[in-house]
Chains A and B, each alone.
Chain A
Amino acid sequence: MDLAFAIENLLNGLQFGLMLFLLAAGLTLVFGIMDVVNLAHGSLYMAGAYFAATFTSLCGSFWAGLLLSVAATAAVGVLLEMAVFRRLYQRSHLSQLLATFALILIFNELARMIWGAQALTLNTPPVFSRPVELLPGFSYSSFRLFIIGTGLAVAALMYLIVVKTRLGMLVRAGASDREMAITMGIDIARVFTLLFAFGAALCALAGTLLGAILEVQVGMGESILILAFVVIVIGGVGSIRGALVGALLVGMVDTLSRSLLPAALRAIMAPEAAAGVGPSLASILIYVLMAAVLFFKPRGLFPARG
C-alpha cells in the first residue's frame, strides 16, 4: 500500500475523531451528570454551522464568524436549558426522548424557515487555502491540520479544566455520584447551566470547522448525533477520557474503512458489487465495534460510575 495514502487516511481519521470528541464531550457530561438523554445535541451542532455561515458572510471574516457562532450557540444552549431541559431532569428517559425529538423537529424547521432548504457553503479561511507538504511528495490540507490542532488543544484544555480546577472537580463529583454531590451542597443546577453552554460552544466549534469541509444543511445534526452517541456508549457514559478514546476509535474506524474497504473488496469481488457493498459495510463496522465493546464491557471502556 501507498504510504502517502495511508498517512492521509490516518490524518483524516484523527481529524474526524477529534471533531466527534467535541460533540461527544458535551453530550456525555450532560448525560452523565443530569441523566438527560439529549437527542437535540446534534441540532446545536447544526445551529453552530448555520450561525458561522451567516456571520462569516456578514463580517467577511471566518474568524469573526467562528467566534460569533460560538457565542451565539452558547447563548442558545443557555436559553434551551432554562426553557426546556430544566423541566426534564426529574423525568423518565422516555419523556426526555420525546421532548428532545420534538426539539429536533423544531430546530430543523426553524433552520429551513430562516436559511431555506438549500445547503449553504462555508468557505475555509484564505490562510488555509493551500495544502502543506508534510513529506517530500506528500501534501495535506492545511485546514484539516488546523482542525486536528484545534481538536487536540481543546482536548488538552478540557483535561486541565476537569482535572485541575474546582469547576472540574464539581463536574467529576456530579458525574460519579450525583446524589452525593447534591447532598454535599453543590449547586448542581448552576453547574449544569454552565456545562450546557459549554457543550453548546463545543458543538458550534465542531459545526463551524466541519461545516467548512462538508456542507451546511438541515438535518446535518442527526447522522453525526448517532455517531456521538455511539462514541459515548463505547467510552462509557459520563467519562471524558472515554469520550476521547471512543471518538478516536470511531473516527479512525469510520474513515479507514470508508477508504480502505472498497479497495480491499475490489480485490476479491466484481468492481460494481464492491462499489455497492463497500460503503455500507464501512457504515456497519462502527456498530459492530460498538456491539463488540458492549459485549465484553457492558458499561463501556471507561465507566464513570463505579
Chain B
Amino acid sequence: MTSHLHHPLPALRMALLLALMLLLPLVAQAFGQEYYIGVVSRMLIFALAASSLNLILGFGGMVSLGHAAYFGAGAYTVGILMQNGVLSGWLSWPLAMLVGALLACLVGLISLRTKGVYFIMITLAFAQMIYYIVIGLEVKGGDESIRLPQRSSIGLNLSSDTTFHYVVLVLVSIFLLLIHRLINSRFGRVLQAIRENETRMEAIGYPVLRYKLVCFVIAGALASFAGALLANQNQFVSPGLLHWTQSGSLLVMVILGGAGYFSGGIIGAIAVLMLEEILSAYTIHWQLILGAILLGVVLLLPNGLASCLQRGSKA
C-alpha cells in the first residue's frame, strides 16, 4: 500500500503516447498530412505549460489565474532576442526560463501573502499588468505580433516541422520526467502536505512560504520554456499569448485533465486541443460544443479525466 502522496508514473500509457508521438510525423508524411505534425507539437508544448500550472495548482494548491504571464514572457524573450539578432536557442531558451523564474519570484513574493480568491485575483492582476506593459511597448511591435525570421538555431535544421517536433518531444519528455521526479521527492510531499493543511505544516516548523515560492518559481520557469517553444513553433509572438483568457484556457486544461494527477496537464492539453481541431473542422460554432462538453465534464467528473483513468492514486 503506497501513500496517496505518491504518484506512480503511468509507464504503459506514457510509452504508448511516446510511441504515438514518435511515429506520427512519419504517418502524417506518408499520407501527405504534414499539417498534423504542427498540431501534435503544439499539444506537447501545451502539455508542458499545463503541467507546470498543475504543479502549483494541483500539487501546491495555489490557484493562479495568471499563468499566461510566464508562458507569454518566454515567447516574448525569444521574439525580442531574435529581433535583436540573437538567433541561438542555446542562449534564448535558458534565458527565457530565467526571465520566467524571475518574474514568478517577484509575483510570488507579493501574491503568496494572500489566500483563496484573493490569490486568484492578484495573480490575474499581475498578469494583466504584464499584458498591458507589452501592448504599450511600441518598440516591441505593440498590438502587432512579432514575426520571427526563423526558428532558433541549435545546430539542427529546425525549419523542418518533423525535426522540430522531435526536438520538442525530447525536451518536453525530459521536463515532464523532472516534474514527475519533483512531485515524488521529499519536496513534492511537503508541498502536497502544505496543500492539505498549511497551518499544521507551519506549526511543525516547515518554512511554508519558502516551499510555495520555490514551487511557484519552478512552475514559472517551465511555463516560460513552453512559451519559448511555442514562439518557435508558430514563428510569431502576439499579445494574445498574455491575455487572461490564455490563463483561463491553461486552467481549463488542468482542471479538465485532473488537477493533482501527474498526467492531468498532459491529458487536459491533448483533450482540449484535439477537441478544438475536430470540432472546428465540422462547424464554425465549435466553441459552443466545446463549452458544452467542458460543462458536462465538470458536472459529471469532478476530478477530471485523469481520475477515471487512474483510480488507484487519488489526488
| In-complex Cβ contact of A102 among B116, B117, B118, B294 (8 A) | B294
Complex formed: what's the CA distance from A109 to B294 in Å?
Answer: 14
Interchain CB contact under 8 A, A95 and B298: yes
**Residue in B57, B138, B291 whose beta carbon sits within 8 Å of that of A276 in the complex:** B138
Q: Is B256 an interface residue (CB 8 A)?
A: yes
Binary contact track B170-203/A, C-beta < 8 Å → 1, others 0? 0000000000000000000000000000000000
A118 to B285, CA, bound (A): 15
Please list 23 pairs of residues, one from A and one from B, whose beta carbons are closer than 8 Å in the complex, sorted by A's number.
A94-B57, A94-B63, A95-B302, A98-B294, A102-B290, A102-B291, A102-B292, A102-B294, A104-B291, A106-B291, A226-B128, A226-B244, A229-B121, A276-B136, A276-B142, A277-B138, A280-B132, A284-B128, A287-B126, A290-B121, A291-B110, A291-B126, A298-B113
Check: B299 CB closer than 8 A to any chain A CB: yes
B: interface residue count bin: 35 or more
Q: How far is the CA of A103 from the CA of B290 in the complex (A)?
A: 10
Nearest chain-A residue to B244 (Cβ)? A226
Is B274 an interface residue, CB under 8 A from the partner?
no
Secondary structure at chain B's binding surface: helix, strand, loop or mixed?
A: helix
Which range holds the interface residue count of chain A?
A: 35 or more
Interface 0/1 of A269-298, CB less than 8 Å to B: 000110011011101100110110011001
Q: Mark A35-68, 1 if CB is under 8 A from B, else 0.
A: 0010100000000000000000000000000000
Question: In the complex, what residues of A have CB within 8 A of residue B135's CB?
Answer: 280
Q: Which residues of A contact B137 (CB under 8 A)?
A: 276, 280
The residues of B that contact A105 with a CB separation of less than 8 Å are 287-288, 290-291, 294
Q: Which A residues touch B27, using CB under 8 A?
A: none
Which residues of the partner chain A approach B285 to less than 8 Å between Cβ atoms? 109, 112-113
> Is there contact, CB below 8 Å, between A95 and B128?
no
Using CB atoms and an 8 Å cutoff, list the residues of chain B in contact with chain A: 57, 63, 65, 110, 113-114, 116-118, 120-122, 124-126, 128-129, 132-133, 135-138, 142, 244-245, 248, 251-252, 255-256, 259, 285-288, 290-292, 294-295, 298-299, 302
A230 within 8 A of B: yes
The answer to whether A222 touches B245 (Cβ under 8 A) is yes
Task: Give Cα A288–Cα B122 distance, bound, in whole angstroms.
Answer: 10
- Beyond A112-B285, A290-B122, 15 additional contacts (C-beta under 8 Å) are A31-B117, A93-B63, A93-B116, A95-B255, A97-B65, A102-B295, A105-B290, A105-B294, A106-B288, A109-B285, A109-B288, A276-B137, A277-B136, A281-B132, A291-B110
> When the two chains form their complex, are residues A84 and B295 in contact, meaning their CB atoms are under 8 A apart?
yes
Q: Kindly state whether residue A258 has any CB partner on chain B within 8 Å.
A: no
- Complex CA distance for A4 and B206, rounded to whole angstroms: 59
> Are B124 and A298 in contact, CB atoms less than 8 angstroms apart?
no
B126 CB contacts on chain A under 8 angstroms: 287, 291
Contact indicator B292/A288 (Cβ below 8 Å)? no
- Chain B residues with Cβ below 8 Å from A279 are 136
Asked if A213 is an interface residue, CB under 8 A from chain B, the answer is no
Per DSSP, chain A at the interface is: helix
Q: How far is the CB of B83 from chain A (nearest CB, A)?
A: 17
Interface flags, A83-122, vs B, CB<8A=1, else 0: 0100100011111011101111110111011000000000
When each residue 238-265 of chain A gets 1 if its CB lies under 8 Å from chain B and 0 otherwise, what string results?
A: 0000000000000000000000000000
A142-186 vs B: 1/0 string, CB under 8 Å? 000000000000000000000000000000000000000000000
Distance of A10 from chain B, by nearest CB (Å): 24
Given the known interface contacts A93-B63, A276-B142, the answer about A98 and B136 at a Cβ–Cβ threshold of 8 Å is no
Known: A98-B255, A233-B118, A281-B136. A109 touches B124 (CB 8 A): no
Min C-beta distance of A58 to chain B, whole Å: 24
Shortest Cβ distance from residue B140 to the other chain A in the assembled complex, whole angstroms: 10
Q: Which residue of the partner chain, among A112, A273, A287, contacts B125 with CB atoms under 8 Å?
A: A287
Contact B120 A37 (CB under 8 A): yes
Query: A99 touching B136 by the CB < 8 A rule?
Result: no
Task: Please give, as numbers and ranges, the residues of chain B lying within 8 Å of A298 by CB-CB distance.
Answer: 113-114, 118
